[in-house]
Every structure is written in C-alpha cells, then in structure tokens.
C-alpha cells in the first residue's frame, strides 16, 4: 500500500549510521527480542493485530487493543475511549508513581530503540551573555509626586541629549558562558538577586524587552531567530497564576490542548511503519497510550499521566481557587503551575524556584520524575532551587552556581566540592552541599568555611572564584568545548519548533470558546445578578414613568418620554461596567499564556466578545419587555423591535468600550478611573443633558464622537415619528408634535437617522473590540515601576564582586564586620551587642479535638459523593508553650494552613468544632487578635509604600510604642 510505505521525513533517522546499526542489531535478534519472549498470544489477539496492521496508516493510528475489565482483549477506537477506560489504562501503566514511572518510561524508549528511532535532543549554549539595565539610586527613585514629574522632565531632557540621566547602570548578568546539556539534570543555584531568573528567561526567549541584552544563545547551534524558542522550550515561573473557577484537570487539559502534540504523531507514524516492516508487535497498553497522546483531541491522556506523576489526581476535580474562591492548597497550586507546561510537547525545561510552597518530599518526587524523563527520553532541564534538601540535590548531574551575575562554577556535581577545596573552602560534614554553595560566595558567611588554618583568612571575591574556575580542570574543559561550535548536522529535524502555535488557529479558537463558555457557566451568578438588577431598575422606571401619567399634549410631555428612553440607554451603558473587573481579573492569566504562545490575542478576545452577545439580547429583552408598553411608547410592534435592537447595540458597545479600557488600564484603579471618566464624557456629550443646539462649536467634535448621541438620535426618531405623535399643531408650521420635540432637542427629524444610528453603533462595536485585540497584543502587564537601589546596595555588590573596600559596608555583628585594610582582609571582630527587651506575659495555647469542615463542592457531588460536609481537620489536639519554638510540618495539602487559620480566627466560613484555650481561658477572638500576630503564606502588600513606611504603619496600627 502506498500510504503504508510513506516515510515521515521529520523523524527518520536512517541517515544516521548509529541508528542503522541499532536497527540492524534489533533485526538480527528477530521478533523474539521483544514480543515472543515476553508473553504468548492467543489466536484471537493475533487476528486482531493482523486486522489492525492491514489498515491504512491513518486508520491504523486510531485503532488499538485494550484490555477491558471483564471482557479481555478488544479492539478500540482511540478517539472513542471513555473516561473509565482511560483511567484504567493509566492505572495499569502507573500504579505507584515513585515505583512505576521509570519502568513505564523505559518501555517507551525501548519500543523506539528497537526499530532505530531516537528522541530528538537539544543542547543549549550561551556565550558572553550580558544583561544590564539602568536604575535610580536613593530617594530619587521613590515614586513621590515631585519625583514623578522631575524624573519625567529629566527623561525628556536626556532624550534630547541636554543632560545626563539620573540613573546608574547595573549589571544583572556579566559576560557568562556555558552549556546546558541534554540527558542531564542541571541545577541552578544562587542567592536571591544573583540573576537566576534573568538567565532562565533569556535561555527560554522570554526576557523583558526593557532589559539590554548582548551575547549569543543557541539551541543545537541555531540562533534564536531561526526557530521559535517559546514553543521549543517551556519556562515555568515562580508565580502561580491560574483561573480560580477552573478545576485542576480543566486547567491542565486546556494547556495540553493549546500546546498540541508537537511531532509525536509524525514520530509514531514512522515508528508504526518500521514495526510493521520488522513484524514487531508492541505492548498493547503502551501502543494505546502512545497513539492517544499523539492525536489532537485526546489531551486527557497526557493530563491524567501528569496528574498521577505530580500527585494531583486526588484534587483533579477541585477548583484551583483564588482569593475569593476556596480551592486547592498553595503547594498543589505550585504543582499545577509545573504541570501546565509538562503536558506540552516541549522537551527543554527551564524551571524557576519550583520548590516554593512544596514540602521536601513532594519536591523530591517531582524532581525525581523529571530526572527519569530527562535521562530516559533525552530531555534538557535547567532547574533553579533556592534551598534543596540533600536528597533532592543528589538527583542532579550538573551544577551552575551564580553569584552577583557571574558563574562561579559550572560542571558535574561530583567536582564542585573539589573546586572549592582548591580555593581554600571546605563544606562541613553535617552541612548540606547546596546551602554551602550559596553561602561560600557571600561575604557575611564565607569566613566559617575557610579550611587553610596555616594561612590568614582573606575574603575571596566572586571575581577571584571566576578566575580560579577558568584554570580548574572542569572550567578549562568547558572553555575548550565552547570554542568548538555545535555540529549543526547532528541536529534532529524535529528538535526545534518553527511553528508559532502548537495547533491550528481554528482549533485554538475552539479551545478558547470552550473555556470561555465554561467560565460563563461558572460565573452564571454574575449574569443572574445583572438580570435581577435590571428587573429592579425596570420596576423603578415603570413606576416613575407610568403610562397613566405620561401624556402627549406638548413638547414638555415629549421631553419626559425622551428622559425615559435616555434612562434605558444609560442603564445598559452602566450595565457594561462590570466588564472592567471581569476583564482585569483574567488579564494576568492571559499575559502568561500569551507569552507562552498558548494562543494569539484574537483567539482570546473573540470568544469574550461573541459569547456575551446572547447575554445582551437576554438583558435587553427583560428591560424592554418590562418597560416598553408600561411606559407607553409607540405601540407599533415594528418600533418595539427597533427599540429593542438599539438597546442591544448600546449594551454591546458599552461592553466593548469597558473591555478596551481594561486592556489599556491593566489595573483596577486605573481602569475604573478611565471608565468613570468615559461614562461622564458620554453622558455630557450624549445629546440629552445638553442639546446639540446648545453645545459650543469648540466642543461639537466631542458630540459627534460620542456613540451615545447616535443611539439617542436613533431611539428618539424611532419613537417620535411614530403614529402616537402624529398630532399636527397648526401654530408650528404644521409640524407634528413628534417633529417639534425632535427639533426642540436638536435631534434630526430624518427617519433614516435610525439606521444611521444602528450603523454607527455597529461601527463602534467593531472598533472597540478591534482595539481590544490590538492592545492585548501590544501591551503587557503593568511593571512594578523602575527598580530602585541604594548607594549601600550598589557598593555591597561591588564589594562582593571585587573584594575592594570592605570596610565601607557594615554588615551585622559577625566577624566579617570588622575593619579592613582595603584589600578584603579582616583584622578584628566587633562583638558589641545591641538591642532591647520588652516585657510581656507568656501565654500558652492549647486546642483539643479541633474539627473543621466545609460544604461538599458541587464537583465532588457530581462524582457520586453523598456526604454533606468535607472534613479538613479531623480532631486535632495540641499545645504551644511559651519559650519553645514549635515547627508545624506536613506534606502539601495536609492542613497546616487550615489549622493556623482556625487557631488565628481567620476562617470566616465553614464549620469549626473543638475547644481553644489561652492560658487556660476560653479563647475570645476580640481580645486574642490584640496579642497575636499571624504571618500568612501569601505576600499581600501595598505596592505604593516603601518597606520602612509599611513597617512603621503596622507598628502604629498594632498599638506598639
């Protein structure tokens, strides 16, 4: 068959001699090498395999043999597998992740190797990489009122080359070079501020454009402009940004759907063709799994696998949660952040501080799973950890140690202790090596590791370590390797991604549509509240403008009708203001996923707009149905529907306008300020508060640019040219009463103005939504402001890097605070102690049989759980004694935060049972809050105050002297 013999060029390895040798080795062993020696087949199963092998390639990739519970082996359609069959397959493949994952990955590799197919690998190199920026120093950078304007003036004068900028240059990464190798786990260590995040972002192609970068980064010898690094690699950041209304499974499934399957399908097609030629039949479960994860639309398979590996299967159907929605724990959110990128096809991972919020056991399990994947499937991983436990540290193959923007050591983990001993520093026996590495380059901690007792200690600066590493045998070998360019002929054709998005644009649009529809259902209470609000306002309008009180005798009567119509327009204008809060709440998630190339901006914006159109029709139907005939507008059914259409258009225009303001403002305060200002402008220039005839010529442009005037003209023409207003007043040039009202208010009397208004509103709707897409694409998240450093901080960086002028920077009370001779040698220690003791009454906290439960989430009820409450704390008892430091420990999700919240009185929902005593007295929250301090897990601070101002405010607010 022609299709069966077709080769997939992107994965063929026939041109590689090593691969041909591997293939011939497997062929020499025959089919007994894998299949016949493993198990005996029955005739029925053989017939099923032969039937599948006779199918065309397209059909063969969608068929498999699955062991069904109670039904034995049966042929299945991959696209039609049920959730139960999927879960049973994953359970058979991986029962216990810690034990079975490595065996499972080995089966995947063995299947490919026996026909000569290897996974593509990527080597990442960075040469002479330098990243720097300019910062304000001292008080000039504090965002005060005077500084804001003075700095703007200085920036303008600097741009004109009149004066020099008040900023100082600061180096984040300084001329570093290195290699991140495939098939090896690389650990990135360094103190906070050493440049770890900047290095990871640069290697992943996601560095902020405001930072100045020089040097070269290559993947398999290819520059970053020759492929799409954001799709080739996966960057996992420090912050957990997710949609709180989605469950864990939905979050990972959406991420998997957007990232696609990469080259899995092409590779599996070639694999299946070679197996057919060699008459080798794979393990049925492995075959079904690989076919499933290689096809679009089967994202649940890889999602279930990642859920199992990360230990998220126990909370897969629970909402992620946010500040307003109870969800999973902080550690589980961190695992969701990791899983969001692992479900994609990227085989190069850059992971930044993934242990934040995770206990050491969970961190070890995740890193171990990554290690197995990297070693077995040929991945590339550079992982940044702040304080890894010793057992986690031992999982890594290579170490990259950063300090003050320079690489102090890069090479095998086994040689790092040897290097520092050669420079005069030794790691104590009971000291974690990772902690030692991060402290040995610090001036305040370095002294304690000095091991040359026959020589006086002198501070060894970062520059000294860098120079020492160059002559160390590991550093010398690395330098020689960097001098030899990567052989681009060894690059696998499927290694680097050249397409910007993982799936077609239509599939991305479908994915965003399905997610937006899901979120609308989850947030249905918002739309219900909006309808109820309209019903309340409609009731008020019906009573204020009651038909029995609405006459048609004079122009003044018509103005009252005009006011009733204006009320309807303004009500729907204000009703769209909710889009500001809803849009801004989702912007951080959008920016993260946009930068990861999950989808383009238009694919996100279109569902947000189009799915809100039926909502507008419903809301306007409620308002029009309640008010139109009760107020007494023209009874013609045609004019009724025209009135209704105008309200729908004004509702859509308002939604588009406020979404646009949210995309431009990007902050709740800024966007709401813009939104309030826009509403005032629209109302003033809308043609009702001030008639067109009374607007000054200098402001007439504002009148014509306001979308509200087109709605006002159209709705007035629709009403006052109706039969109800065809009363002729002979004293007014035989004009009907309706025409007189229109002329009195400066409204055009041409009936075509209705369609002009409709066309103008449609134009505004298109313009606002188009600008919404463009600003989503152009703008990023609001920056935290210009980085500010002090003179002391700059001098300390200089000292740590060069070792000069140590005496300029007093640092605490340890031996390194002693005066220096200017060369870095410390001559004496300052042992003076300072401080004060505040009197206080010691208190004991005891708690007995504490139980905390919440109502069962609806998602769990849908799974068949019949209980009404979910018990989170199950009879916890204990005591905290004064003078004793107590550590509360437990794995992620064990209930540590929940217990602290209950004891501190921070739980405002749920059901609390048990007794809490303070020094033997029952706890009263009103008095307990004055003697207790609770440091929560989340860092929530005002972004507009300094550290000193925040601390001072907290001190005065707590009543401290």
Q: What is the pLDDT of residues 204-251, one digit of tens each?
A: 999 988 889 999 999 999 999 999 999 999 999 988 999 999 999 999
331 and 475 in a single domain? The answer is yes
| CA atoms within 13 Å, Cβ hemisphere of 59 | 8
Looking at residue 69, its pLDDT comes to 55
Minimum mean pLDDT range among 40-49, 518-527, 691-700:
40-49
What is the mean predicted confidence (pLDDT) over 176-202? 94
Q: Are residues 565 and 659 in the same domain?
A: yes
Confidence (pLDDT) at 823: 42
pLDDT band at 167, cuts 50/70/90? confident
DSSP, res 137: E
pLDDT computed for residue 960 by the predictor: 52
Question: 814: pLDDT confidence band, cut at 50, 70 and 90?
Answer: very low
Show the tokens assigned to 178.
């290195």
In this structure, the dihedral spanned by the alpha carbons of residues 911, 913, 919 and 921, taken in order and rounded to 10 degrees, is: 90
Residue 171 is assigned to a structural domain of this protein: no
Question: Does the pLDDT value for residue 827 go beyond 70?
Answer: no
Task: Evaluate whether residue 151 is within a structural domain.
Answer: no
User: What was the pLDDT predicted at 36?
Assistant: 39
Closest CA to 375 of 358, 397, 355: 397
Structure tokens belonging to residue 290: 């690989």
Domain check: are 590 and 657 in the same one? yes
- Reply yes or no on whether the pLDDT at 20 is more than 50: no
Report which of residues 453 and 137 the model is more confident about.
453
Average pLDDT over residues 593-599: 95
In the three-class reduction of DSSP (H, G, I as helix; E, B as strand; rest coil), residue 133 is classed as strand
Tell me: do 249 and 229 sit in the same domain. Answer: yes
Q: What are phi and psi of 875, to 5 degrees?
A: 70, 55
pLDDT of res. 226: 94
Tell me how many degrees the CA angle 48-52-54 measures, rounded to the nearest 5.
Answer: 120
> Residue 911: is its pLDDT beyond 90?
no
> What per-residue confidence (pLDDT) applies to 904?
86
Do residues 452 and 538 share a domain? no
Give 868 or 119, the one with higher predicted confidence. Answer: 119
Higher per-residue pLDDT: 548 or 800: 548
Residue 804: CB partners within 8 Å, gap ≥ 6? 798, 822, 823, 824
In a shared domain, residues 277 and 419: no
Whether 801 maps to a domain, the answer reads no
Contact yes or no for 396/185 (Cβ under 8 A): yes
Residue 284 above 60 pLDDT? Answer: yes
pLDDT at 729: 63
Residue 24 is predicted with a pLDDT of 36
Q: Is residue 75 predicted with pLDDT exceeding 90?
A: no
* Short-list 302, 278, 263, CA closest to 119: 263
How far apart, in whole angstroms, are the C-alpha atoms of residue 493 and residue 51? 33
**Do both 880 and 892 map to the same domain?**
yes
- Residues 625-639, mean pLDDT to the nearest whole number: 94
Reported confidence tier of residue 812, pLDDT bands at 50, 70, 90: very low
Write down the pLDDT at residue 316: 92
Sign of the torsion angle spanned by Cα atoms 550, 552, 558, 564 = positive
285 and 202 share one domain: no
> What secondary structure letter does DSSP report for 511?
H
pLDDT band at 869 (very low <50, low <70, confident <90, very high): confident
Q: For residue 592, how far is the Cα from the chain centroid?
A: 4
Which domain-ending residue is among 295, 319, 354? Answer: 295
Task: Output the pTM of the full model.
Answer: 0.82
- The model's confidence at residue 937, banded by pLDDT at 50, 70 and 90, is confident
Do 469 and 569 belong to one domain? no
Do 688 and 621 share a domain, yes or no? Answer: yes
Residue 810 maps to a domain: no
**Is residue 141 in some structural domain?**
no
Residue at 8 is within a domain: no
Residue 837, pLDDT score: 55
Regarding whether 652 and 739 lie in a shared domain, the answer is: yes
Residue 595 and residue 672 share a domain = yes
Q: Which domain holds residue 513?
A: 508-778
Q: How far, in Å, CA of 354 to CA of 239, rounded?
A: 9
Does the residue 839 lie in any domain? no
User: CATH number of the domain that 420 lies in?
Assistant: 3.40.50.300
CB 914 within 8 A of CB 884: no
- Asked if pLDDT for residue 419 goes beyond 90, the answer is yes
pLDDT bucket at 406, cuts 50 / 70 / 90? very high
| Number of CB atoms found within 10 A of residue 213's CB | 17
Q: What is the mean pLDDT of the chain?
A: 85
In a domain, 184, yes or no: yes
Q: How many domains does the chain divide into?
A: 4
How high is the pLDDT of residue 146? 78
């Amino acid at each position: 068959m022609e299709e069966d013999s077709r080769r997939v060029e992107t994965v063929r390895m026939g041109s590689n001699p090593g691969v041909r040798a591997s293939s011939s080795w497997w062929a020499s062993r025959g089919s007994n090498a894998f299949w016949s020696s493993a198990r005996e087949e029955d005739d029925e199963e053989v017939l099923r395999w032969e039937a599948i092998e006779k199918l065309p390639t397209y059909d063969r990739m969608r068929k498999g043999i699955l062991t069904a519970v109670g039904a034995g082996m049966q042929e299945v359609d991959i696209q039609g597998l049920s959730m139960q069959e999927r879960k049973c397959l994953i359970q058979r493949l991986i029962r216990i992740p810690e034990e079975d994952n490595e065996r499972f990955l080995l089966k995947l590799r063995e299947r490919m190797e026996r026909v000569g197919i290897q996974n593509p690998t990527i080597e990442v190199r960075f040469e002479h990489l330098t990243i720097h920026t300019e910062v304000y120093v001292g008080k000039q950078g504090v965002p005060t009122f005077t500084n804001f304007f003075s700095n703007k003036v200085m920036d303008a004068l600097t741009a004109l080359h009149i004066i020099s900028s008040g900023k100082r240059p600061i180096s984040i990464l300084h001329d570093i070079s290195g290699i991140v190798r495939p098939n090896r786990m690389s650990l990135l260590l360094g103190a906070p501020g050493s440049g770890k995040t900047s290095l990871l972002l640069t290697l992943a192609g996601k560095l902020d454009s405001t930072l100045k970068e020089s040097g070269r980064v290559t993947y398999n010898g290819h520059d970053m402009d020759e492929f799409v690094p954001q799709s080739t690699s996966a960057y996992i950041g420090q912050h957990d940004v997710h949609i709180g209304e989605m469950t864990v499974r939905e979050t990972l499934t959406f991420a998997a759907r957007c990232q696609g399957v990469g080259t899995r399908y092409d590779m599996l097609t070639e694999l299946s063709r070679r197996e057919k030629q060699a008459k080798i039949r794979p393990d049925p479960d492995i075959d079904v799994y690989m076919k499933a994860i290689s096809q679009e639309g089967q994202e649940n398979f890889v999602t279930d696998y990642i859920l199992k590996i990360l230990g998220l299967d126990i909370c897969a159907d629970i909402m992620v949660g946010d500040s307003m929605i109870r969800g999973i724990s902080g550690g589980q959110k961190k695992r969701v952040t990791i899983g969001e990128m692992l479900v994609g096809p990227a085989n190069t991972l850059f992971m930044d501080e993934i242990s934040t919020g995770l206990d050491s056991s969970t961190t070890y399990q995740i890193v171990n799973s990554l290690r197995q994947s990297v070693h077995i499937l040929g991945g590339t991983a550079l992982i940044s950890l702040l304080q890894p436990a010793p057992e986690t540290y031992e999982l890594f193959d290579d170490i990259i140690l950063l300090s003050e923007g320079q690489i102090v050591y890069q090479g095998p983990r086994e040689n790092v202790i040897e290097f520092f001993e050669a420079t005069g520093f030794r790691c104590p026996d009971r000291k974690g090596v990772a902690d030692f590495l991060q402290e040995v380059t610090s001036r305040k901690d370095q002294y304690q590791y000095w091991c040359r007792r026959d020589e006086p200690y002198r501070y060894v600066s970062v520059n000294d370590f860098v120079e020492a590493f160059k002559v160390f045998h590991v550093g010398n070998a690395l330098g020689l390797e960097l001098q030899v360019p990567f052989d681009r002929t060894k690059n696998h054709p499927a290694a680097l991604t050249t397409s910007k998005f993982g799936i077609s644009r239509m599939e991305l649009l479908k994915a965003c549509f399905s997610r937006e529809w899901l979120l609308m259902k989850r947030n249905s209470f918002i739309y219900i509240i909006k309808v109820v609000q309209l019903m309340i306002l409609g009731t008020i309008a019906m009573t204020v403008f009651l038909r029995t009180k609405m006459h048609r005798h004079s122009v003044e009567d018509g103005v009252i009708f005009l006011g009733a119509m204006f009320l309807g327009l303004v009500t729907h204008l204000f009703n769209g203001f909710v889009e500001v809060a809803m849009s801004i709440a989702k912007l951080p998630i959008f920016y993260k996923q946009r930068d990861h190339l999950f989808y383009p901006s238009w694919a996100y914006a279109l569902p947000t707009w189009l799915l809100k159109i039926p909502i507008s029709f419903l809301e306007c139907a409620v308002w029009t149905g309640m008010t139109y005939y009760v107020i007494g507008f023209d009874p013609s059914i045609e004019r009724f529907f025209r009135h209704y259409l105008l309200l729908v258009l004004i509702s859509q225009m308002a939604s588009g306008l406020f979404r646009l303001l949210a995309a431009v403002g990007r902050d709740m305060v800024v966007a709401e300020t813009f939104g309030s200002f826009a509403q005032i402008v629209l109302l003033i220039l809308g043609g009702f508060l001030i008639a067109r005839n009374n607007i000054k010529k200098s402001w007439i442009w504002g009148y014509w640019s306001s979308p509200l005037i087109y709605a006002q003209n159209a709705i007035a023409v629709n009403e006052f040219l109706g039969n109800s207003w065809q009363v002729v007043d002979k004293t007014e040039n035989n004009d009907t009463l309706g025409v007189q009202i229109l002329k009195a208010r400066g409204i055009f009397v041409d009936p075509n103005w209705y369609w002009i208004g409709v066309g103008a509103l449609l134009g505004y709707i298109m313009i606002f939504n188009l600008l919404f897409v463009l600003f989503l694409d152009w703008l990023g998240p609001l920056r935290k402001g210009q980085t500010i450093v002090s003179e002391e901080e700059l001098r300390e960086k200089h000292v740590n890097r060069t070792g000069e002028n140590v005496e300029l920077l007093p640092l605490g009370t340890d031996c390194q605070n002693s005066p220096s001779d200017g060369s870095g040698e410390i001559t004496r220690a300052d042992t003076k102690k300072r401080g004060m003791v505040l009197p206080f009454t010691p208190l004991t906290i005891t708690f007995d049989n504490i139980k905390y439960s919440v109502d069962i989430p609806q998602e769990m009820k849908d799974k068949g759980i019949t209980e009404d409450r979910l018990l989170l704390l199950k009879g916890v008892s204990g005591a905290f004694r004064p003078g004793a430091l107590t550590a509360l420990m437990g794995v992620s999700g064990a209930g540590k935060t929940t217990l602290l919240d209950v004891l501190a009185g921070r739980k405002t929902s749920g059901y609390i049972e048990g007794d809490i005593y303070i020094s033997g007295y029952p706890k009263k929250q009103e008095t307990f809050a004055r003697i207790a301090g609770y440091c929560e897990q989340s860092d929530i601070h005002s972004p507009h105050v300094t550290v000193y101002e925040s601390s001072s405010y907290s001190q005065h607010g707590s009543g401290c002297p």
